[in-house]
């Protein structure tokens, strides 16, 4: 029925780069047989899901929505893919995204843009726009996305679904094609908080194949699905409520705070004074790491190769034709920030700012169990509105980026609509404090 649904709406929504079709049905039949034999099954067995196209799937094309990887078929599964397949979920296909996860609207996809199922003239957000739209359009029960600066949460908000960026190191990144390795995290996009907890149960946990994976015990997240927020202290950072935030979104945030107070939580204003420096620091750090990570696409090892008279021209032609505008912009910015003479002034400075931002959060979490902010300053915008103005586009992640710089978890929860388009509110937690985020989300939804 999910494949039928894909056939029906995909022409309009365009959430998928690849649909597995027959392969998915084959997998489903195997699950049916196991069930018929009475084999023990995980709670997710038989659930159809999809993955952002930067998560490696053995034998299934993984393109990062880039022409440079248009034909790349991974010989191995990402750890999250492996875990989900072991749990019996069914891979329906791979979701569209901004090329190499750089963007906030899906307009940077090297293939075609995904549309917002709530309004086809609006963007689904990005970079996990396809993954969010697929869930919102009932083309998958859940999807996995990746979030470097907001790429799970902002599209979740724009498409009206739940999106979680876990604590850095909680979910293994082995097999996630790297954008900015110190910021990237994989996380679920789901219809509700219960599904989010169930998926997190499968994908979180230490992985010896990922050296940044945290060696911590993972609880059963469903135990946080209790309608009880009594005594929780929730901070509302004033820096996230000011200029640039749509007042109607700010009003919803106040409504959410009032409801939480009614349920017994305490909400107070708090300050995170270095917030305004997060965006510039992020774009230096993320571009620097991207320029290094993307050096491997040279026409030799993966994907596209444009033949040329000698090897240097082959590198140049392959990269010139294979990468899109935004990716090239990031590679140039990052290379510049890392070059000798500019390293101290830009890259090192950005790292120091990152520490200050992290300390703001450490300080706030001495007093508060979690923080509440908008997920994005606006609801989904129209195609073309920001595509020629990179700075305006970068601003749509202003509420989500600091969370990646600090490495803490963030959850976007749908909360009302403005002119028919979904609004998302964001809960930010202590490191490994996902349980608290699920608890407040569950109480509010
Ligand atoms: N929009 C931000 C960027 O372009 C965040 C992307 C992401 O989280 N992958 O870098």
DSSP string, 175-186: TBPPSSTTT-EE
User: 282 CB under 6 A from ligand 1?
Assistant: no
pLDDT tens digit sequence for 314-365: 999 999 999 999 999 999 999 999 999 999 999 999 999 999 999 999 999 9
**What pLDDT, on the 0 to 100 scale, is given for residue 312?**
97
Domain of residue 87: give its range.
2-224
User: 393 CB under 6 A from ligand 1?
Assistant: no
Q: What angle do CA 265, 270, 272 make, to 5 degrees?
A: 135
**What pLDDT, on the 0 to 100 scale, is given for residue 180?**
98
Report the C-alpha gap between 70 and 61 in whole angstroms: 8
Does pLDDT of 243 surpass 90? Answer: no
Q: 102 and 127 in contact (C-beta within 8 Å)?
A: yes
Residue 154 lies in a domain: yes
- In the reported structure, the alpha carbon of residue 1 is separated from the centroid of ligand 1 by a whole-number distance in angstroms of 33
- In the reported structure, the alpha carbon of residue 27 is separated from the centroid of ligand 1 by a whole-number distance in angstroms of 33
Report the C-alpha gap between 201 and 444 in whole angstroms: 21
What CATH number is given to the structural domain containing 186? 3.90.1300.10
Mean pLDDT of 211-225: 97
- In the reported structure, the alpha carbon of residue 235 is separated from the centroid of ligand 1 by a whole-number distance in angstroms of 25
Report the C-alpha gap between 372 and 260 in whole angstroms: 11
Report the C-alpha gap between 75 and 431 in whole angstroms: 33
107, 126, 289: residue to mutate for ligand 1 pocket, most atoms within 8 A of CB: 126
pTM: 0.98
Mean pLDDT of 114-132: 98
**Lowest-confidence segment of 187-196, 203-212, 393-402 by average pLDDT:** 393-402
Residues recognised as catalytic:
52, 127, 151
123, 150, 334: residue to mutate for ligand 1 pocket, most atoms within 8 A of CB: 150
Nearest atom of ligand 1 to the alpha carbon of 148 = 8
Residue 13 lies in a domain: yes
Does pLDDT of 242 surpass 90? Answer: no
- In the reported structure, the alpha carbon of residue 103 is separated from the centroid of ligand 1 by a whole-number distance in angstroms of 5
**What pLDDT, on the 0 to 100 scale, is given for residue 257?**
98
Residue 271 lies in a domain: no
Residue 171 lies in a domain: yes
User: 104 CB under 6 A from ligand 1?
Assistant: yes
Does pLDDT of 380 surpass 90? Answer: yes
Report the C-alpha gap between 95 and 105 in whole angstroms: 14
Mean pLDDT of 5-25: 97
pLDDT tens digit sequence for 262-310: 999 999 999 999 999 999 999 999 999 999 999 999 999 989 999 999 9
Mean pLDDT of 226-253: 95
281 HSE (CA, 13 A, CB side): 23
65, 95, 104, 404: residue to mutate for ligand 1 pocket, most atoms within 8 A of CB: 104
**What pLDDT, on the 0 to 100 scale, is given for residue 159?**
98
Residue 86 lies in a domain: yes
pLDDT above 90 covers a percentage of the chain that reads 96
Residue 391 lies in a domain: no
Residue 193 lies in a domain: yes
Confidence of residue 392 (pLDDT cuts 50, 70, 90): confident
The mean pLDDT value of the chain amounts to 97
What number of residues does the chain have? 445
Residue 233 lies in a domain: no
Burial of 305 (0-12, 13-18, 19+ CB in 10 A): middle
Q: Closest Cα to residue 268, out of 244, 245, 241?
A: 241
Q: Which parts of 107-246 fold into alpha helices (H)?
A: 129-136, 153-159, 193-203
Nearest atom of ligand 1 to the alpha carbon of 126 = 1
Spatial neighbors of 128 by CB under 8 A, at least 6 apart, are 52, 95, 97, 101, 143, 145, 146, 147, 151, 152, 155, 163, 189
- In the reported structure, the alpha carbon of residue 283 is separated from the centroid of ligand 1 by a whole-number distance in angstroms of 9
Mean pLDDT of 36-64: 97
434-444 vs 193-203: helix crossing angle, rounded to 10: 160
Flag whether the ipTM exceeds 0.85.
yes
- In the reported structure, the alpha carbon of residue 390 is separated from the centroid of ligand 1 by a whole-number distance in angstroms of 12
Counting the structural domains of the chain, the total is: 1
Query: In terms of DSSP bridges, do strands 233-237 and 370-374 run parallel, antiparallel, or are they unpaired?
Result: parallel
Mean pLDDT of 184-198: 98
């Amino acid at each position: 029925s999910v494949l039928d649904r894909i056939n029906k709406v995909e022409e309009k929504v365009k959430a998928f780069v690849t649909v597995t079709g027959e392969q998915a049905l084959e997998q489903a039949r195997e699950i049916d047989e196991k069930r018929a034999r009475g084999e023990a099954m995980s709670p997710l067995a038989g659930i159809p899901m999809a993955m952002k196209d930067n998560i490696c799937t053995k034998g299934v094309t993984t393109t990062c929505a880039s022409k440079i990887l248009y034909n790349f078929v991974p010989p191995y599964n990402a750890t999250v893919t492996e875990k989900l397949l072991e749990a019996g979920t069914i891979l329906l296909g791979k979701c569209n995204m901004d090329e190499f996860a750089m963007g906030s609207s899906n307009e940077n996809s090297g293939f075609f843009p995904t549309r917002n199922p709530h309004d086809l003239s609006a963007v689904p957000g990005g970079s996990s726009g396809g993954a969010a739209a697929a869930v919102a359009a009932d083309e998958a029960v859940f999807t996995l996305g990746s979030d470097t600066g907001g790429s799970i949460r902002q599209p979740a908000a724009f498409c009206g679904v739940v999106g979680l960026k876990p604590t850095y190191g909680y979910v293994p990144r082995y097999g996630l094609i790297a954008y900015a390795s110190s910021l990237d995290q994989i996380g679920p996009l789901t219809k509700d908080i219960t599904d989010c907890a169930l998926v997190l149960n499968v994908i979180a946990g230490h992985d010896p194949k990922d050296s940044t994976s945290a060696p911590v015990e993972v609880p059963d997240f469903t135990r946080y699905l209790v309608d009880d927020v009594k005594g929780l202290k929730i901070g509302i950072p004033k820096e996230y409520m000011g200029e640039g935030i749509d007042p109607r979104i700010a009003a919803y945030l106040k409504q959410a705070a009032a409801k939480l107070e009614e349920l017994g939580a305490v909400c107070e204003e708090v300050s995170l004074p270095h917030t305004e420096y997060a965006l510039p620091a992020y774009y230096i750090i993320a571009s620097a790491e991207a320029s290094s990570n993307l050096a491997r696409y040279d026409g030799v090892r993966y994907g596209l190769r444009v033949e040329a008279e000698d090897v240097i021209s082959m590198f140049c032609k392959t990269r010139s034709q294979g990468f899109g505008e935004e990716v090239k912009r990031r590679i140039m910015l990052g290379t510049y920030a890392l070059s000798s003479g500019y390293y101290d002034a830009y890259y090192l400075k950005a790292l120091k700012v990152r520490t200050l931002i992290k300390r703001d959060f450490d300080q706030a979490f001495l007093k508060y169990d979690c923080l509440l902010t908008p997920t994005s300053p606006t609801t989904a915008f129209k195609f073309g509105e920001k595509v020629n103005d990179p700075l305006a586009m970068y601003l749509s992640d202003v509420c989500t980026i600091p969370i990646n710089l600090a490495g803490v978890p963030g959850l976007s929860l749908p909360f009302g609509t403005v002119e028919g388009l979904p609004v998302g509110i964001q809960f930010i937690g202590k490191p490994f404090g996902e349980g608290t985020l699920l608890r407040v989300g569950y109480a509010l939804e």
